[in-house]
Amino acid sequence: MTIQGCLLCDVVSGARKLPIVLETDRISAIGASIEALSAGHCVVFPKRHASSLHEVDDADLAEILPAIKRVARAMGIGSYNVLQNNGAVAGQTVFHAHVHLIPKSSAEDGLRRMVDTHRHVDHGVIFETIRARLG
Ligand SMILES: [Zn+2]
23-57, pLDDT tens digit by residue?
999 999 999 977 889 999 999 999 999 999 999 99
Residue among 41, 96, 98, 100 flagged as catalytic: 98
Low-confidence spans in the chain with pLDDT less than 70:
none
Give the per-residue pLDDT at 129: 92
Beta bridge partners of 43: 30, 100
For residue 95, what pLDDT is reported?
Answer: 97
Residue 50, helix vs strand vs coil: coil
Measured CA to CA, the distance from residue 94 to residue 113 in angstroms comes to: 22
CA of 42 to the centre of ligand 1 (A): 17
What confidence score (pLDDT) does residue 116 get? 76
Question: 42: part of which helix (H) or strand (E)?
Answer: strand 42-46
Helices (H), 5-122: 7-13, 58-75
Residue 131, H or E segment? helix 123-134
- Whole-model pTM: value is 0.90
| pLDDT for position 33 | 77
Measure 50 CA to ligand 1 centroid, in angstroms: 6
Please tell me the predicted confidence (pLDDT) of residue 121: 82
**Spacing, Cα 123 to ligand 1 middle (Å):** 34
Residue 98: active-site member: yes
Smallest Cα–Cα separation from 48: which of 28, 70, 22? 28
Calculate how far, in angstroms, residue 7's C-alpha sits from the geometric centre of ligand 1: 6
The β-bridge partners of 18 are none
Q: Which residues are 30's β-sheet partners?
A: 20, 43
- For residue 93, the cross-strand partners are none
